[in-house]
Structure 1
C-alpha cells in the first residue's frame, strides 16, 4: 500500500479546482493554483539535489509560501520540520542538526538568525521568502527561484510513500531536557485531519481562519489540514491582532475559528460596534484549559459556540473533543475521538474507576499517536509504556465518558498558547557566570494565561541585576520563552532530597 498526505490537496484540487483555497489580504489562490505551485516547489527541491526521505525545515509565519512549501515537500516525498520563526540562532542550529534537515525555508524578517543557525548546523542551504521587510542575507536563495525552477512540473507527480513513513516532525519537549522531535506519519496526519474535520462538522462552504501558527501542531493539523481535507477556504492571518482578526472575519465571512484561550479573552473584550460577525458558527479552543467565564462571555457576544478539545504534539493535536453545544460539558475536554482510546491510570498503569475522586495520568493509544521521538528510542519506550502514550497530564473521567484535566505532572508553562519548558530556560540561566542556581515557574497572568518568571541565587561574591539576567536570556531564547521577571534570592527552597521546591516558589 502507498499513500502520501499530499493527497488531501490533490483530491480537493480535482473536485474544486477554481474554489478559493487561500485568502490573505488582497491575494486569493485557488485549489488549482496551490496544487500547481506546490508541484513546482516539489520539482524545485528535486532540482536542488534533495531526495525522497530528506527533511526540510519551514520557519515561516502564516503566509501562502508555508502552504506551498509544505505540500511541495510532501509531494516530493520529503519530511517537514515546522519551526517557530522567533527561534534564535542556537535554537535553529539545534533543530536543524537534530532533525538532519537538508534545507531551510525562512522569512526575510528572521533570516539573519536563521542563516547563522544554518551555518552552525553545518551549512544547511537556506531559501528566503521575501515580504520586503529586510534584505536577504548573502549565500541565500530567494524562495521564488525555487518555485520558478520547477516551472512546468506536473502537479500530479506525487511520490508514493508508505503510510508509515514520517510526514512531519513536530518538536516538543519535557522537563528532562532539550526539545524532542515527534514523528507523525502520513497515515496519522491524514487520520487526524479526517477525524477532526468530521468531529468539527466541517462543510465545503466553510471559511476557516488560520491565525494559530501553522508551525504549531494545532494550527497545522486541526486548522490547515482539516480545511484542505474538507475543500474549505482558509483565511491566513500572520499574527493575532484583534482588529485584524475581526476585519478578516467580516471581509471573508469566516465560519470556523480555532484559537487558544487568550485569543478568546481578547475577542470577548473587543468592541463589536458596527461589526458583522454573523457568519461565525463554530469555535474550537485548545492549547490550555479555557475558563467557563470566558466561554460564557464570548458566546454572549458572538453567534458561535466554543467547543473545547485536548491533544498534544505527539497525538497530531487532538485526542478528545466536545462535539456539540448540546452535548458539551463546560470545563471538560470532551469525549474520546473515533479510533482513539483514552484511559486514566494510577502510578502502576492500572486503569482507575470513573469519578473526580479518581485522578490519575491520562494515557492514549490509537491512529493519532506518534510513531516515536526521532532518534530517541529510550524516550519513546518510556513515553509508550505498555503500548499507551503517557501524556504527563492528570485528570479523571466522569460517568458519562467526559474527561477533565486537573493538573500537569510536568512543570509546563503555557504563555499565550505557546508551550514553554522551564528546564530549557534553566539551562540557559545556568550559563550566566553569576548564577549558582535557577528555577523557572509559571505565574498566572490575566492576558497571557501564564507568565514566565525565574528565581536565581548567585555565586559567592557575584552580582547580577534582574534586568541583566533577562537581557542575557533574551539574547539566547525566543521572545515567548525568556523570563519577564527575575527574583534574586539567597537560597532556593529545597526538600530533603535537595530537589528545589517549586511549590514554595509558586506560593510567593
Structure 2
C-alpha cells in the first residue's frame, strides 16, 4: 500500500486544472492548492523547519488548511491542531501550552493583538495564510524552539480529544498509527486508492470540523486516495444534502445528531437516492435512530467505533454484515477491523468471559503502543460469541449513587424513548448524602409541546430502577455540542448552572 507521505507526493502528477476542493459552488484547482502548499513549504524551509518540525495550524474548514496539511505532512513535519472555534484567548493559551516552532493562522487571528504579541514573546514564528498569500507576522528569520530529535516513532499529528466528558487532553498520533488506520479502513471496506489518475473519481465529503479527528481523517484519507474534496465550513442539512445530490455520493458520513436533523427536515427521498450507506460513529448511535433512517430512506447505517487515540475507527459495520446480522445484533457497533483484537477485563485486568461487560481493551497497530500491547479504554463493553462489539457505557461516566452504579447512557435511552424528547444528556451531581445523583438535560423534538418534569420521571420509572431515575430533568432549546456534534459537557454544566440560578 502506498504510504500517506508518498501518496501526497503523487499529487504533483495531477493536472493543474484538476478540481480539488469545493466550498459552496466554488472549486479550487490543484494548481491553486499546489501553489499555496509550495509557498507554505518554502516559508517553513526558510525558517529552518525540516522533517520532524512541529507546526501549529489554526485548522478551520478552508482551502488554506488543506494546502497547509499537504505542506506539513508531505515533508514529514508534525501538525499541531489549534481550534478556530475557541475564543482567541483560549487559542493563544493552547499555543503557549503546546509550544510549536511555527504557527499558521488566518489574518483575522493575527489581528487579535494579544495573539500576535504573546506568540512573539514566546519565540514562536508565525505566518498569516489567506488566499494565496503567506505573510510572516511573528518571530525572527529562523526558529529558536527545539523540535524532538531521534524519535523512533515519529509523530504526524498532535490533537485534542473531544473533551466531552472532561478536560480535553492533547495526544500524539504517529505516522505508524495513521498508516495502520488507513490500511485498516481499506481492509474493512475492501477499497483503496487504486491506479486512478489523481483527483478523479468520486469526491470525498468532509462535513465535520478538521480540528476533530473525524474531519481531519476525512481530509487525510481523501488526499491519500487522491480524491477531490467537498469541504463544508460546518455541517448544515442543506449543505450536506446538496453535496450528496450534486455529486451522487454512494457513501457519506452522518453523526447521530446530524442524522436526526436530516430526519426532522423531512429531506425528500430522491435527494439521497444515490447513497448506498451512511457511516456514523462520533458518539453513541441509537439503533432506533438507525432503523428510523433506514426505514425512511432505504439507506443502511454503518455504525463505527473508534477514538482520537486510535487515529479513527477500529470496529464497525459493513453492508454485508448489516444484511446478514443486523436483526440479530441490533445495538452492536459492529465487528473489530481486520488485525484488531478486543477484550473486556475487570478492574484488576482479568479477562472476562464472552458476553460479560467490563473495561474494553484494544490491541492494534493503530494504538500508541503498537500491535503487541493491550490498551485500556474508558469504555465499558462486551463482545458476543460472534465477535460483535457492544458499548455499554463509559467507566469514567458512571454515577455512583449511594453505592449503586448508574450508567448515563442507560438513563438517556429511557428519556429518548419519550415521544417528545429528541435527545438527552445525563451527568452526576455531587450529593452530600449519596455521593452523586443523576441529573438529566433534554432537548425536545421539533414541534413537541413542553413536557412536565414529573411526567418524564414517571415515564422513565417504567424502564429504570429507582436509583437510576434523575433527581432533576432540565429542558433546553438545544443541547450544546462540540465540533464533533457530541454533547459538550462543560457547556452543558454552564447552561444548567444558569437555569438553576434563574429558578432560585
Q: Does 1:214 align with 2:210?
A: yes
1:97 alignment counterpart? 96
Q: CA deviation at 1:287?
A: 1.4
Alpha-carbon spacing, 1:176–1:485, altered in 2? closer, same or farther (3 Å): closer
The equivalent of 1:501 in structure 2 is none
Residue 247 of structure 1 is matched in structure 2 by 242
Residue 127 to residue 279, structure 1, CA distance change in 2 (3 Å): farther
**1:367 match:** 365
3-state SS of paired residue (2:285): coil
Aligned partners of 1:242 and 1:266 also within 8 Å: yes
User: Residue 376 of structure 1 corresponds to which residue in structure 2?
Assistant: none
8 Å Cα contact 1:24/1:237 also seen in 2: yes
Q: Is the 8 A contact 1:211 1:238 kept in 2?
A: yes
Q: How does 1:250-269 map to 2 (within 5 A)?
A: 250-269=245-264
SS of the equivalent of 2:134 reads helix
RMSD: 4.1
**Greater relative contact order, per chain length (Cα 8 Å cut-off, separation 6+):** 1
Structure 1 residues 128, 363: closer, same or farther in 2, change over 3 A? Answer: same
In structure 2, the partner of 1:340 is 340
Partner of 1:21: 20
The equivalent of 1:309 in structure 2 is 304
Q: Offset at 1:15?
A: 7.1
In structure 2, the residue matched to 1:38 is: 37
User: Are the counterparts in 2 of residues 208 and 255 from structure 1 also a CA contact under 8 Å?
Assistant: no
Normalised by the length of structure 1, the TM-score is: 0.69
CA offset at residue 215 of structure 1? 1.1
Structure 1's 274 and 283: CA in aligned 2 closer, same or farther, altered over 3 A? closer
Q: CA deviation digits over 1:168-223, x for unaligned, max 9?
A: 012227799854321111121122123214424546633221011111112212x2
* Mapped pair 1:400 → 2:389: no
Displacement of 1:102: 1.9
Aligned partners of 1:411 and 1:421 also within 8 Å: no
Distance 1:421 1:107 in 2: 37
In structure 2, C-alpha distance between the alignment counterparts of 1:16 and 1:52, rounded to whole Å: 27
2:323 to 318, 322, 326: 326
Measured in 2, the distance between the counterparts of 1:163 and 1:396 equals 34
Q: 1:191 and 2:202 equivalent?
A: no
Kindly report which structure 2 residues correspond to 1:454-493, keeping only aligned pairs within 5 A, or say none: 481-482=490-491, 483-486=494-497
Rounded to whole Å, the distance in 2 between the matches of 1:170 and 1:124 is 19
Alignment check: 8 A CA contact 1:106 1:114 kept: no
Q: Of 149, 152, 166, which residue of structure 1 is paired with 2:155?
A: 166
Displaced runs of 4 or more, over 4 A? 15-19, 30-33, 108-115, 173-178, 201-204, 412-415, 420-423, 438-442, 487-490
State the partner residue of 1:119. Answer: 118
Q: Check whether the contact 1:307–1:321 (CA below 8 A) recurs between aligned residues.
A: yes
Q: Deviations over 1:421-478 (max 9, x none)?
A: 999xx9xxxxxxxxxxx99977344579xxxxxxxxxxxxxxxxxxxxxxxxxxxxxx
Q: Does the 8 Å CA contact 1:364/1:388 hold for their aligned counterparts?
A: yes
Match of 1:319, SS? strand
Contact 2:64 2:130 survives alignment (8 Å): no
Quote the residue 2:460 is aligned against.
Answer: none
CA distance in 1 between counterparts of 2:175 and 2:439 reads 36
User: Any unmatched runs of 5+ in structure 1?
Assistant: 132-142, 148-160, 373-383, 427-437, 449-478, 491-508
Counterparts of 1:284-299 in structure 2, within 5 Å, are 284-299=279-294
Q: Secondary structure at the match of 2:396?
A: coil
Aligned partners of 2:204 and 2:62: how far apart in 1? Answer: 15
Q: CA offset at residue 344 of structure 1? A: 1.0
Deviation per CA, 1:351-410, whole angstroms, max 9, x where unpaired? 11111xx100011121111259xxxxxxxxxxx9x9322111001001110000111112
- The answer to which of 117-126 and 179-188 deviates more is 117-126
Partners of 1:342 and 1:271 lie apart in 2 by 39
Alignment-derived partner of residue 81 in structure 1: 80
Q: 8 Å contact 1:58–1:81 — kept in the other structure?
A: yes
CA distance in 1 between counterparts of 2:394 and 2:269 reads: 42
Structure 1 window deviating more from structure 2 (267-276 vs 231-240): it is 267-276
Worse overlay, 313-322 or 91-100: 91-100
Report the CA distance shift for 1:215/1:336 in structure 2 as closer, same or farther (over 3 A): same
Structure 2 distance, partners of 1:489, 1:163, is 52
- Per the normalisation by structure 2, the TM-score is 0.69
CA distance change for structure 1 residues 281 and 109 in 2, over 3 Å: closer, same or farther? farther
Change (3 A) 1:405 1:272: same
Going from structure 1 to structure 2, the CA distance change for 1:224 and 1:446 (only over 3 Å counts) comes to farther
Q: Is 2:233 the partner of 1:238? A: yes
- In 2, Cα distance between the equivalents of 1:290 and 1:16? 41
Displacement of 1:296? 1.9
Distance change in 2, residues 1:236/1:487 (3 Å): closer
Partner of 2:397: 411
Tell me the number of residue pairs that the alignment of Structure 1 and Structure 2 aligns: 405
What SS does structure 2 have at the residue aligned with 1:392?
Answer: strand
Q: How far did residue 345 of structure 1 move?
A: 0.9
Q: Label 1:303 to 1:234 Cα distance change in 2 as closer, same or farther (>3 A).
A: farther
1:92-116 superposed Cα distances (whole Å, 9 cap, x missing partner)? 2342233221222234565566953
How far the C-alpha of 1:85 sits from its partner, in A, is 1.1
* Contact 1:361 1:394 (C-alpha < 8 Å) held by counterparts: yes
Aligned counterparts of 1:9 and 1:278: Cα–Cα separation in 2:
33
Unaligned runs of 5+ in 2: 137-149, 194-200, 399-407, 413-424, 431-435, 447-486
